[in-house]
Amino acid sequence: MIMPLGLGCSSRPGTSRVNRTGSWRTFRPVFLRDKCTKCRLCIQLCPEGCIMEESEGFPVPDYTYCKGCGLCAEECPAEVIEMQKEEK
């Protein structure tokens, strides 16, 4: 991609999205819906901000960016997030 340098080493907002940090993952959080209480804690505490709420209110991770840190699984009060080894 050719683009002129940003004056004073500046950049437009949201450009970090080109960096797909999901490739870092060795474990993948799998969200089990049946016991999820939709408490939204995982959405709030994800350091990537990559857990979204879908139309029914369930949390859905964006695997494009999820680094697989496991914080959501560790903190989930209903214990419905499982960390599963990533298949390469």
Partner 1 sequence: MTDEQCSLFEPGHRACGGCAAALAARAILDAAGPDTIIVSATGCMEVFSTPYPETAWKVPWIHSLFENNSAVASGITAALKKQGRKEKVIALGGDGATFDIGMLCLSGAFERGHDFVYICYDNEAYMNTGIQRSGATPYDASTTTSPAGKCSTGNRRPKKDLPAILAAHGAPYVATATIAYLPDLKKKVRKALDTEGPCYVQVHAPCCTGWGFEGEKTLAIARLAVETGLFVSYEMENGVVTRVKKVVRKPVEEYLKEQRRFRHLFRPKRNDAEIAKIQAIADRNAEKFGIDINLKK
Partner 2 sequence: MMEIMEGSHAVAHAVRMCRPEVIAAYPITPQTHIVEALAEMVANCSLDAEYITVESEFSALSACLGASAAGSRVYSATTSQGLALMFEVCFNTAGMRLPVVMSIVNRALGAPLSIWNDQQDSISLRDSGWLQFYAEDNQEATDLHYIAYRVAEDKGVLLPAFVCFDGFILSHTYEPVEMLTQEQVDSYLPPYSPVQRLDSKNPISIGLFASPDYYMEFRYEIDRAMKASSQVIREAGRRFGEMFGRDYSNLVEEYRMDDAECAIVAMGSICGTVKDAIDEMRRDGQKAGLLRIRTFRPFPGDEIKKALAGVSSVAVLDKNISLGAKGAVALEVRDALYGSGIPVLDYIIALGGRDVAKKDIKSVVKMAMAGNGDLFYGLRGEVLG
Residue 26's region, left for phi above 0, alpha for psi from -120 to 50, else beta, is: alpha
Is residue 17 a contact point for partner 1 (CB under 8 A)? yes
Is residue 21 a contact point for partner 1 (CB under 8 A)? yes
Which of partner 2, partner 1, none lies near 2, with the C-beta cut-off 5 to 8 A by kind? none
As measured in angstroms, the least distance from the Cβ of 18 to partner 2 is: 14
CB contact burial 33-51 (16+ within 10 A = b; e otherwise): eeebeeeebbbeebeeebb
Q: Are 51 and 42 in contact (CB under 8 A)?
A: yes
Q: Are 30 and 81 in contact (CB under 8 A)?
A: yes
As measured in angstroms, the least distance from the Cβ of 49 to partner 1 is: 4
Is residue 16 a contact point for partner 1 (CB under 8 A)? yes
**Site for partner 1, rule CB under 8 A:** 3, 6, 9, 11-21, 24, 40, 43-50, 52-53, 62, 64-65, 67-71, 73-75, 83
